[in-house]
Amino acid sequence: MALKNAKVIKMLLFTALILLIWRLAYHIQLPLINRDFLGTESSIFGFLNVFSGGALANYSIVALGISPYITASIVIQLLQMDIVPALKEWAEEGETGKRKLNQLTRYLALGLAFVQALTITLGIAAYYGDIFKLGVETNIFTYVYLALVMTAGTAFVLWLAEKITLKGIGNGTSMFIVAGIVASFPRMISDLIKKFIAAPEGNSVGDIFIFFGVLLLMIAIVVGVVFMEAAQRKIPIQYANRPAAAAFRGKSESNIPIKLNSASVIPVIFASTLMSLPTTIVNFLDQSNNVVYWIGQIFNYTNPIGFAVYIILIFVFSFFYSFLQMNPEKMAENLRKQNAYVPGIRPGAETASYISRVLFKITMVGATYLAIVASLPIIMSFIFDLPASVQVGGTSLIIVVGVAIETAKQLKTQAQEKQYRGFID
Q: 10-19 pLDDT, tens per residue?
A: 888 999 999 8
Top-confidence residue, 77 or 114: 114
Segment 373-424, tens digit of pLDDT: 888 777 777 777 776 666 545 666 777 777 777 777 777 777 665 544 444 5
Q: Average the pLDDT over 214-226 and give the result.
A: 78
Q: What percent of the chain has pLDDT over 70?
A: 81
Please state, rounded to an integer, the average pLDDT across all residues of the chain. Answer: 78
DSSP β-bridge partners for residue 95 = none
Judging by beta carbons within 10 Å of its beta carbon (0-12, 13-18, 19+), is residue 204 exposed, middle or buried? exposed
Q: What is the pLDDT of residue 155?
A: 93
Say whether pLDDT at 118 is over 60: yes
Amino acid (1-letter code) at residue 127? Y
Segment 248-276, tens digit of pLDDT: 444 445 888 888 877 777 787 778 777 77
Q: How confident is the model at residue 44 (pLDDT cuts 50, 70, 90)?
A: low
Q: Average the pLDDT over 134-158 and give the result.
A: 86
Which DSSP letter does residue 60 get? Answer: B
Q: What is the pLDDT of residue 159?
A: 92
Q: Is the pTM of this model over 0.85?
A: no
Q: What is the pLDDT of residue 88?
A: 80
Q: What is the pLDDT of residue 37?
A: 61
- Listed in sequence order, the residues at least 6 apart from 110 whose beta carbon sits closer than 8 Å to its beta carbon are 68, 151, 154, 155, 158
- Listed in sequence order, the residues at least 6 apart from 93 whose beta carbon sits closer than 8 Å to its beta carbon are 100
Amino acid (1-letter code) at residue 175? M
Say whether pLDDT at 137 is over 80: no
Q: Give CA torsion, residues 215, 218, 220, 222, to 10 deg.
A: -140
Residue pair 170/407 in contact (Cβ under 8 Å)? The answer is: yes
Q: What percent of the chain has pLDDT over 90?
A: 9
Tell me the domains of the chain and their CATH numbers. Answer: 1-168 (1.10.3370.10), 187-415 (1.10.3370.10)
* H or E element, residue 16: helix 6-26
Say whether pLDDT at 32 is over 70: yes
Q: Average the pLDDT over 116-120 and give the result.
A: 84
Say whether pLDDT at 122 is over 60: yes
Q: What is the pLDDT of residue 18?
A: 92
Nearest of 363, 416, 399 to residue 171 by alpha carbon: 399
Q: What is the pLDDT of residue 420?
A: 46
